[in-house]
């Protein structure tokens, strides 16, 4: 069974739904009450699929484009939604909507019998087909070589006649309850935005008797739930790996800048190149990495060109993708801290070690490394504290598949409006971070470290 945090978006939707139902019971019509009761009775996978579709743009969705780890079988999860009429597989689909659902190669096969010549781009093909194709028709009728069809082994529709025979058509559905989802959002956020003194409803109090005082129950709720421990583990694992990667990459780079580069102009240029990205917004940098790490991004193209992989790797939505983005953002802090420590090392100490017969490796381990350890620890602490509390980079590069504590805290404040719960999560993050920072600082003062 998947860990509960895979359904964080579903849990937030359920809480918002229950809150609206409790405070707006007199405003809900029969259709809306039926929606709430039927939604509660759906299997969890079907609930998750509907919420995913409500969160995404567009009324039409293909089953192959709704692949989520927490939904094992999309077609099976959609069956109850089709029965309730919340998804419609037979609704008229326009040509524009059809083009939005398919890639150019798929459209070339779909209109193999009627594809006009001279359509180099997808937009050109659409413009040329408008005159010859119907304005709208059901999705299953868009195959120009009409003929009997059957269901494939994987549940997709397979055309069995014409030039497009054996072309797979995975199911496509139109969301028929998008208006209800939008109405819930307007009720929830509109009420929370109103001032309480003006009669607006407030989120349910979760603190003490006065609804304002935080209680230990919030911390018990955080620490007694395995879900939160899973999120804490992911958060600190990413921060630890980010710190280690920055140290592994940053120390040699700092050594190069301080000990190898002799031309001051080149050293100055390298430092400028190193710190200039710090003046760029985190959002801009994260979006840049989303482009570079995409399936058709520069990273995957380079890997396939060198033969390292035979198909594009998935970086977005994985811890590896988040790690790459975090290392890029935080690497300058380690380089600057270690570089400053290296510049302060007295060359006479290393020369004395060499005069006494020590090898370069022994000199580094017993002289240089202990003298630069305070700089290493300082850089590691800076990187770790920034990585453990980072929000923008994990939120954008996670693709909704990886959750860290900062994202969970933001959800409580901006979506669920459970401020005490969010405050408890913030305190847990702060305490754990301070404990680890104290341990790292203590390690820097052990015997062997420079004082």
Query: What pLDDT is attached to residue 91?
Result: 82
Alpha-carbon gap, residue 106 to 109, rounded angstroms: 5
- Nearest Cα neighbor of 119 from 134, 109, 108 is 108
The pLDDT assigned to 323 comes to 94
Per-residue pLDDT tens, the chain, 451 aa: give them: 344 456 767 877 787 777 777 777 777 778 888 888 888 899 999 998 988 888 777 788 888 888 888 888 998 999 999 999 889 888 888 888 888 877 777 777 777 766 666 566 777 777 777 777 777 787 777 754 333 444 444 444 444 343 344 445 578 888 888 766 555 555 444 444 333 333 344 444 444 444 445 567 778 878 888 888 888 999 999 999 999 999 999 999 999 998 888 888 888 888 888 888 888 888 888 889 999 998 888 998 998 888 888 888 889 889 999 999 999 999 999 999 999 999 888 888 888 988 888 888 899 888 898 889 889 999 999 999 999 999 999 999 988 788 899 998 888 887 767 788 888 888 989 999 999 888 887 776 665 554 4
How many whole angstroms separate alpha carbon 212 and alpha carbon 344? Answer: 52
Q: Which residues contact 388 (CB under 8 A, 6 or more apart)?
A: 235, 236, 239, 405, 429, 433
- Residue 161 exposure: Cα atoms within 13 Å on the Cβ side: 8
Q: Phi/psi class of residue 307: alpha, beta or left (left: φ > 0; alpha: ψ in -120 to 50)?
A: left
pLDDT at 93: 84
Q: Exposed, middle or buried: residue 155 (CB in 10 Å: 0-12, 13-18, 19+)?
A: middle
Residue 399: CB partners within 8 Å, gap ≥ 6? Answer: 316, 317
SS3 137: strand
Residues sharing a CB contact under 8 Å with residue 44, sequence separation 6 or more, in sequence order: 7, 10
Would you state the pLDDT for residue 381? Answer: 92
Say what the pLDDT of residue 245 is.
Answer: 95
Give, in degrees to the nearest 5, the angle at Cα 68 between 303 and 297.
Answer: 25
Confidence at residue 78, expressed as pLDDT on a 0 to 100 scale: 92
C-beta of residue 6 within 8 angstroms of C-beta of residue 70 = yes
Rounded CA-CA distance 19/200 in Å is: 14
DSSP class of 364: I
**Opening angle at CA 80, ends 53 and 34, nearest 5:** 85
What are the strands of the beta sheet with 168-169, ordered from one edge? 149-151, 157-159, 168-169
State CA 36 to chain mean position distance. Answer: 29
Q: Phi first, then psi: what are they for 253, rounded to 5°? A: -65, -40
Would you say 324 and 289 are in contact if contact means Cβ atoms under 8 Å apart? yes
DSSP label at residue 194: S
Quote the pLDDT of residue 325: 92
Q: What is the pLDDT of residue 239?
A: 94
pLDDT value for 252? 93
Answer for the pair 437, 357: CB distance below 8 angstroms, yes or no.
no
Please state the three-class secondary structure of 241-301 as a single string.
Answer: HHHHHHHHHHHHHHHHHHHHCCCHHHHHHHHHHHHHHHHCCHHHHHHHHHHHCCCCCHHHH
pLDDT of residue 180: 63
């Amino acid at each position: 069974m998947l860990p509960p945090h895979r359904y964080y978006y579903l849990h937030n939707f359920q809480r918002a739904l229950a809150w609206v139902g409790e405070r707006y019971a007199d405003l809900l019509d029969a259709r809306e009450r039926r929606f709430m009761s039927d939604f509660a009775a759906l299997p969890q996978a079907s609930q998750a699929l509907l919420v995913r579709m409500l969160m995404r743009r567009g009324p039409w969705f293909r089953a192959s484009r709704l692949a989520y780890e927490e939904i094992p079988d999309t077609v099976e999860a959609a069956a109850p939604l089709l029965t309730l009429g919340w998804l419609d597989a037979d609704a008229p689909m326009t040509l524009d909507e059809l083009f939005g659902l398919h890639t150019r190669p798929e459209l070339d096969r779909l209109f193999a019998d009627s594809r006009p010549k001279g359509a180099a781009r997808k937009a050109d093909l659409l413009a040329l087909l408008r005159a010859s194709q119907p304005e709208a028709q059901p999705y299953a009728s868009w195959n120009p070589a009409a003929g009997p069809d059957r269901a494939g082994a994987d549940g997709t529709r397979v055309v069995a006649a014409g030039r497009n025979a054996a072309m797979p058509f995975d199911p496509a559905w139109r969301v028929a309850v998008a208006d209800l989802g939008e109405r819930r959002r307007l009720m929830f956020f509109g009420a929370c935005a109103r001032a309480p003194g003006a009669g607006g409803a407030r989120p349910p109090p979760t603190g003490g008797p006065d609804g304002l005082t935080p209680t230990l129950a919030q911390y018990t709720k955080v620490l007694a739930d395995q879900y939160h421990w899973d999120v804490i583990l992911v958060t600190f694992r990413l921060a630890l790996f980010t710190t280690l990667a920055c140290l592994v990459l940053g120390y040699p780079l700092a050594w190069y800048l301080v000990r190898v580069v002799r031309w001051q102009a080149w050293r100055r240029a390298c430092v400028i190149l190193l710190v200039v990205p710090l003046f760029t917004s985190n959002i801009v940098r994260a979006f840049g990495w989303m482009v570079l790490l995409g399936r058709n991004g520069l990273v995957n193209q380079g890997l396939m060109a060198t033969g390292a992989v035979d198909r594009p790797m998935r970086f977005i939505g994985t811890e590896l993708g988040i790690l790459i983005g975090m290392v890029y953002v935080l690497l300058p802090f380690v380089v600057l801290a270690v570089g400053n420590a290296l510049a302060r090392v007295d060359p006479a100490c290393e020369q004395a070690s060499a005069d006494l017969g020590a090898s370069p490796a022994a000199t580094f381990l017993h002289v240089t490394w202990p003298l630069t350890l305070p700089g290493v620890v300082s850089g590691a602490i800076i990187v770790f504290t920034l990585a453990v509390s980072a929000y923008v980079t994990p939120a954008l590069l996670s693709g909704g598949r990886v959750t860290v504590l900062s994202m969970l805290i933001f959800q409580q404040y901006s979506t669920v409006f459970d401020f005490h719960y969010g405050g408890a999560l913030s305190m847990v993050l702060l305490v754990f971070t301070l404990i680890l920072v104290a341990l790292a600082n203590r390690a820097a003062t052990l015997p062997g470290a420079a004082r």
